[in-house]
Amino acid sequence: MEGNLSQTTLTAGHTAGTDERLDLRGITKRFPGVVANADVSLAIRPGEIHALLGENGAGKSTLVKIIYGILQPDEGEVRWNGTPMIIPNPHAARALGIGMVFQHFSLFEAMTVLENVAIGLDSPEKPSKLAERIRGVSAAYGLPLDPLRDVHTLSVGERQRIEIVRCLLLEPKLLIMDEPTSVLTPQEVGRLFETLRKLAAEGCSILYISHKLAEIKALCDRATILRGGRVVGGCDPKVETASSMASLMLGAQIKPLARRATTALGPSRLVVGGLDLPADTPHGIGLRGISLDVRAGEILGIAGVAGNGQNELFLALSGERTVETPGTIMIDNTRVGHLGAERRRALGLCAVPEERNGHAAVPEFSLVDNAVLSGHRREKLLAGGLIRAGRALDFATRIIKSFDVRTPGPGAAASSLSGGNLQKFIVGREILQKPGVLVVSQPTWGVDAGAASAIHAALLSLTSEGSAIVVISQDLDELLAISDRIAVINVGVLSAARPTASVSLEELGLLMGGMHEADVAKAASPEREMADAP
Amino acid sequence: MNLSILVPLLVSVITAATPLLLAATGELVVERAGVLNLGVEGMMLVGAICAFAAMFITGSPILAMLAGAAAGAVLSALFGVLVLTLASNQVATGLALTLFGLGLSALMGANFVGHPIVPLAKLAIPGLSSLPVIGPLLFSHDALVYLSVLMTGAVGWFLNHTRGGLILRGVGESDTSAHSIGHDVIRIRYYAVLFGGAMAGLGGAYLSLAYTPMWVEGMTAGRGWIALALVVFAAWRPWRVLAGAYLFGGVTVLQLYAQGSGFVLVPTQFLTMLPYLATIVVLTLMSSGSVRSRLAAPACLGKPFRPVS
Ligand SMILES: Nc1ncnc2c1ncn2[C@@H]1O[C@H](COP(=O)(O)OP(=O)(O)OP(=O)(O)O)[C@@H](O)[C@H]1O
Ligand SMILES: [Mg+2]
């Protein structure tokens, strides 16, 4: 591997058109009702980290699926090291040295890490030898992974490592990463970047897709920007700013978030007092003594490293898991702890879960049907047990319009939407129901900068109508931008909420790392501590 | 109870279990690939009549067994075209396949009712068959009995120790992941469905060639459904299918003996009901989502898959 790659490193850095590793010319791909890629050309040199930017539905995933052989282009040519190629399937792509980490992971939950790796290799290998190789690669690149663990017991970050290790075992010449960091913690992102830089230094080309422009700036050498399936330009991320890249991407300036004037807060709308909830799976996190209070017109942000009880807290608030003591959760002074999601929805609590496929939306259902599933009561979409088709269609159409969901129409299946567009749809579906209390988990997960600011603006305008909102997110910048108060969840315990204006990133980081509030206060302001001492 | 009663009793347990084992082993492979084929009963019946007809006409047991397997495979290919290529509903298509097999076998068998054939020969294994007790119990059976056990072992080995088995399980676990890695989901499922059909056909052939060497309309008498239940009962593990098949076989035989010996604590009808009752319970549980996940069913079982390209 070493010798092989260092040779290619010698050719890195040349700019002549002939030594491009991958050269796409005029790629066009049509789906029923959409042109996902139109005449896309793109070239990547050995050892280069190339960013592919574009808003939701711009065609980024489609393009990389074509490179990896999952989709076939309708027109255009793919050149590999200068030779025109047809890549009929992923086997052929891997044989060329192309590896891919998918936006939606391609893993098998009921199997071990070892089996998950083996199934993605093209030649059979003895399990013991393969396990040895996995350990070797994960040590060499700092990606700790136990080959014998079952995948369903692993965190999202660990799952992604499987995908990366699977690619690295192929000794790739081109590694494609489709939004790899949207589910990682800041520490995991740091570690991933180290790995990618190391690979690039060895001569591997990397095609990197992300909506996080700050990351692109930190990592990538060049960028190609897609809009509506077309290349609209390229840039050097090192010299651009995040906002100049965003405006290139959207073809318009992003409006800075207008924070509303702090109005007087209304009465408490969601009150939780001493909520305990045991873990329901062997690897779940139990909630201990959770208390919070959100008032009308307020956004409470909940930060935390993934897997610290956010899912459990979400389920407890939304009513998917109930508790026996009704009084631990109150919506507008009604005791609801024992009520399920449907009853809570009737009382005004709507919820947007983190996982959009299968939890927030039924992928095979049309957008109209998905709109009916959660909106039927508050939007009065049922009459005597029958669906009022006209009203349902109207509701779905309103969501699509208000939230700029890019789709051929309300009859499209949820699974045909790009990730970010489906996210806009499910967030919009709940916001348009004008809930008294809204609980949202990762509202802008995988959403482009323009749509993210639209979702944030919609949340803020909902509060000005007197709703109380809980936002659970791993994105600290997001929480700092929109919430009035922030609390941190760590192994199932929620810290006291503090006004956003008075917390620093550093303090949040320490709380997320499991330090106690008193210690954080000390660590953050040692001089104050000394001044207080007699 | 002495050995002279016990040995024939156990031998009849083995013969009663064999058709179940053959069909269930096939269905296990189909389900591990993520396809639910409820047409086992129909495929067994068509296998039974085709094997019987081949035996009656050619007199060759080998041709007869091949005919049974081929007939089951042809029927399952029809199922495959409908549910895999055309992505139709698997439950409805499987039920239709059973009804179709029932009717087709009756039609084909109309002229064979009441004709005798030579039953499958018992293969004596030199040296072993003449051992006391063990000999008659384990080493004096016909080819299909040995084949059924061998196939179960082979399937267990294939699923857990070969790359092909790994891919097959992967396809049943997550069709989209397997597809994006580059495995041809539809083709792998076709192989599994054809194998399942051939095994169901062999199970049927065993009934008409060895168990009761004649053709009677509807002679599987619900064994296809029992085989389906067995797969769930065994939590999709080959060796547990083996144990389950012998358990069900045992229940069937016990009930026959109880009837024959006039041993009546409970009405014999209840005993006759037992295997079917167990089947209904298991099949009902299988359709309930939560139990399904607890039993570690293949995650994509019964889900149609349409690749985009
Ligand atoms: N299988 C499909 N069938 C129909 N349309 C599709 C299919 N896959 C993608 N599309 C459409 O093609 C367009 C491009 O989708 P793609 O997934 O490539 O976007 P993306 O740039 O990756 O977006 P995101 O940032 O949200 O992931 C979208 O309009 C999408 O709805
Ligand atoms: Mg995408």
pLDDT per residue as tens, chain A (534 positions): 333 433 333 333 334 445 889 999 999 999 988 899 999 999 999 999 999 998 888 899 999 999 999 999 999 999 999 999 999 999 999 999 999 998 778 899 889 999 999 999 888 888 999 999 999 988 888 888 899 998 887 877 788 889 989 999 989 999 999 988 766 666 777 888 998 999 999 999 999 998 888 888 999 999 999 988 999 989 999 888 877 887 887 776 666 666 655 567 889 999 999 999 988 766 678 899 999 999 999 999 999 877 788 889 999 999 999 999 999 999 999 999 999 999 999 999 999 998 888 889 998 899 999 999 999 999 999 998 899 999 999 999 999 999 989 888 999 999 888 888 899 999 999 999 999 999 999 898 878 888 888 899 999 999 999 999 999 998 888 898 899 999 999 888 999 999 988 887 777 777 776 666 655 555 544 443 333 333
Q: Element (H or E) spanning A381, and its range?
A: none
Cα A182 to middle of ligand 1, angstroms: 17
Residue A105's CB: how many other CB atoms inside 10 A? 19
CA B216 to chain centroid = 19
Q: Cβ distance B102 to B109 under 8 Å?
A: no
Read off the amino acid at residue B4. S
Q: Which residue among A72, A94, A108 places its CB closest to the CB of B309?
A: A72
At A303, list the tokens. 């930060």
* Phi, psi of A274, rounded to the nearest 5 degrees: 60, 50
Copy the structure tokens of residue A499. 């006004």
Length of chain B, in residues = 309
The contacts of residue A186 (CB under 8 Å, 6+ apart) are A476, A509
C-alpha distance from residue B175 to each of A1, A19, A221 (Å): 32, 38, 36
Residue A228 Cα to chain centre, angstroms? 21
Q: Does any domain span residue B247?
A: yes
**B167 and A119 in contact by Cβ < 8 A?**
yes
The chain A residue lying nearest B172, using CA atoms, is: A108
Spatial neighbors of B217 by CB under 8 A, at least 6 apart, are B105, B106, B109, B113
State whether the Cα torsion A93-A97-A102-A106 is positive or negative: positive
Residue A288, judged by CB atoms within 10 A of its CB (0-12, 13-18, 19+), counts as middle
- Token readout for A182 is 């949207």
The residues near A58 (Cβ < 8 Å, ≥ 6 apart) are A226, A227, A228, A229, A249, A448
CATH 3.40.50.970 describes domain A268-348+435-503? no
Residue of B244, B278, B273 whose CA lies nearest to B258: B273
Using alpha carbons, select from B216, B215, B202 the residue that is nearest to residue B67: B202
Q: Which domain does B279 fall in, by range?
A: 3-288
Q: Do B180 and A70 make contact, defined as CB atoms within 8 angstroms?
A: yes
Amino acid, res. A456 = H
Choice from A28, A29, A31 to test ligand 1 binding pocket (greatest atom count within 8 A of CB): A31
CA of A104 to the centre of ligand 2 (A): 9
ipTM exceeding the 0.95 mark: no
Report the first-to-last Cα separation within chain B, whole angstroms.
66
- Whether B307 is covered by a domain: the verdict is no
Report the residue of chain A nearest B182, measured CA to CA: A90
* DSSP element (H, E) containing A274: strand A268-277
Please give the tally of structural domains in chain B.
Answer: 1
Amino acid present at A233: G
Q: Are B279 and B229 in contact (CB under 8 A)?
A: yes
What's the CATH code of the domain at B13? Answer: 1.10.3470
**Residue owning tokens 């793109």:** A42
Residue A301 and residue B170: Cα distance in Å, rounded?
39
Give the number of other Cβ atoms within 10 Å of residue B62's Cβ: 11
Q: B177 in contact with A at a CB cutoff of 8 Å?
A: yes
Of B173, B183, B308, the CB nearest to A111: B173
The strands making up A34-44's β-sheet, listed across from edge to edge, are A34-44, A22-31, A75-80, A83-85
* Within-domain flag for B301: no
CB-based contact B249:B230 (threshold 8 Å): no
To the nearest 10°, report the CA torsion of B207, B208, B210, B211: 40
Nearest atom in ligand 1 to A62's CA: 18
Those residues with Cβ within 8 angstroms of residue A194's Cβ, 6 or more apart along the chain or in another chain: A142
Backbone angles phi, psi at A294, to 5 degrees: -120, 130
Is residue B255 domain-resident? yes
Looking at chain B from residue 281 to 300, which residues have their Cβ under 8 Å from any Cβ of chain A? 296, 299
DSSP 8-state symbol, B79: H
Q: Is the dihedral of CA B11, B13, B18, B19 positive or negative?
A: positive
Contact yes or no for B174 and A107 at CB 8 A: yes
Residue B308 domain-assigned (yes or no): no
